[in-house]
Structure 1
Amino acid sequence: MRMKDSQAQPQPDSGRERLLRVAEKLFGERGIQAASIRDIAAAAGIRSATVYHYFGSKDELLWCVWERSGLQQRARVEAAIEDIEAPWERFLAACQAHVEGLLDWGPANQLVFIVPPWQYPAALKDRIVQLRDRYESIFVQLVDDLPLRENVDRHHLRLAVLGALSWPIYWYSKGRGGTPSSFANEVVDMLRVGVGE
């Protein structure tokens, strides 16, 4: 399922894209509340009014940053599993892509997964929840396809895996503790030994 939204595939526009990049950086560094439109405009080298021309409000700017990141992450995982048929290998490839995406990309992509729902701006909460649900639906299917013991709760397994794979945002640093891909591989190996048939 592909998400359809006019903001998902913006028309080429250097001003708009520059604003998205700057906003992503400042939202990640300062937090959503602390990064003001004035700060974002100044960092992008434009007038504050121009931000409202492109996005209408700070919430809409935040949504565009958030949505683009979520769509990129989803595309990355879909590409990773596209040509793989074996259930455990598909699951592993998706897990690797998930971790690599969180650690290789900008802070907005990380915000999609580390900001708890009760901290979402009220005006955006429903859209953000839908964005996350569409992404996680990939893992729902992947976990459903795994050959597991009958008493394994697949819902809890999925939540535990995504939680574990998202946590390296807080501790991972390049050159220490292996690569993002190797970490995902270790997690999946431990799970498979513990719950696989």
Structure 2
Amino acid sequence: MGQAAVAERLRASGVRISPSGVRYIWQRHGLETAVKRLQALADDGADALTPDQQRLLERGQLSARLAQVKVAGDATPGKTSATGAEGEGLSRHELILHVAAERFAAHGYDRTSIRDIARSVGLLPGSVYHHFPAKEDLYLAIHREGFRRVLERVKAAAAEGSDPWDSLRRACQVHVAGMVEGSPVDRITGHSLAMIGDHTLYDKIIDARRAYEQVFRDLVAALPLAPGVDRALLRLTLLGAMNWVSVWFNEGKRSPQEIADVMVEMLKKGVAG
């Protein structure tokens, strides 16, 4: 129940309190969101929640977990930000994108259904179809959003470089970090940079991919290189190496930033003794 409904229920039972008074009490006890109140009820006993309340709690917990990996400032334009007025986490649109990206990354496009995604989000399949008419639309929306986010971050990072090599290094840091540490949307977009099995789907994201690769084309074009170096092959070699990091990355050894630094340093200085 919301604060107004609680105040009305209390007034009907003889307790005079305003909605803002209810919220003040909730805040004092760490119960200011519906998810926190449901968790408190759940802690009182396994059978304290109805099935609908349990689904709402699970959705809120998932939303909070996804919000932790959501990069600040990358909310979808026109959508609710990661933390709303009641602190309930991601908007339904964003939540569907994140959960779908997780399932596509874990199980593949063909082995993931809208029903699977809806179950993970805590919605009925019809609610997912309300936002995305088909699975293909959802898959493409994930990639477009992912490309938009990484394009903004890479451009901003490169602009802070002190010279062409430093700009490339900073851009590569963002790219590799997104591949292994980013949100599910970031990770699946990065994976598609390396490979995608469905060429029909690939053709529909090619413009977004080309816009992103143009950033690296410009960065490589600005490098002071030896005469005769094939800049296109150099760019493709670097992108291919970075895209493969997600396959062999082992947390606890080199950080994504360190990996990017070493890759660029090897390109710059070479590896011959």
In the TM superposition, what whole-angstrom CA distance separates every residue of 1:23-69 from its partner, at most 9, and x where no partner exists? 11111111111110011111111111111111111111111111111
Q: Which residue of 2 aligns with 1:66?
A: 143
Question: Greater RCO between the two (CA within 8 Å, min separation 6)?
Answer: 1
Q: Distance in 2 between matches of 1:32 and 1:107?
A: 14
Q: Write the deviation string for residues 83-140 of structure 1: whole angstroms up to 9, x where unpaired.
A: 3241111111111111111111134433334346661362x33231111111110000
* Inter-partner Cα distance in structure 1 for 2:227 and 2:188: 35
Alignment partner, residue 143 of structure 1: 220
Match of 1:120 among 182, 194, 198: 198
* 2:231 counterpart letter in structure 1: R
Sequence identity (%): 34
- The answer for unaligned runs of 5 or more in structure 2 is 1-75, 81-89
Contact 1:112 1:132 in 2 (8 A): no
1:49 partnered with 2:117? no
How far apart in 2 are the matches of 1:35 and 1:69? 19
Partners of 1:128 and 1:120 lie apart in 2 by 11
**TM-score normalised over the length of structure 1:** 0.87
Contact map agreement 1:69 1:112 (CA 8 A) in 2: yes
- Partners in 2 of 1:89 and 1:148 — Cα distance? 14
Q: Distance in 2 between matches of 1:194 and 1:92?
A: 15
Asked if residue 9 in structure 1 is aligned to residue 86 in structure 2, the reply is no
How do 1:94-105 residues align onto structure 2 when only pairs under 5 Å count?
94-105=171-182
Question: Partners in 2 of 1:146 and 1:25 — Cα distance?
Answer: 37
Equivalences, count: 186
Distance in 2 of aligned mates of 1:107 and 1:121: 22
Counterparts of 1:99 and 1:118, CA distance in 2: 18
Counterparts of 1:51 and 1:107, CA distance in 2: 18
Q: Which position in structure 1 is the counterpart of 2:268? A: 192
In structure 1, the residue corresponding to 2:208 is in which secondary structure? helix
SS at match of 2:156: helix
User: Higher Cα Rg: structure 1 or 2?
Assistant: 2
Report the 3-state secondary structure (helix = DSSP H, G, I; strand = E; otherwise coil) of the residue aligned with 1:9: coil
Paired with 2:258 and 2:162, the residues of 1 have a C-alpha distance of: 21
Give yes or no for contact 1:26–1:40 (8 Å, CA) kept in 2: yes
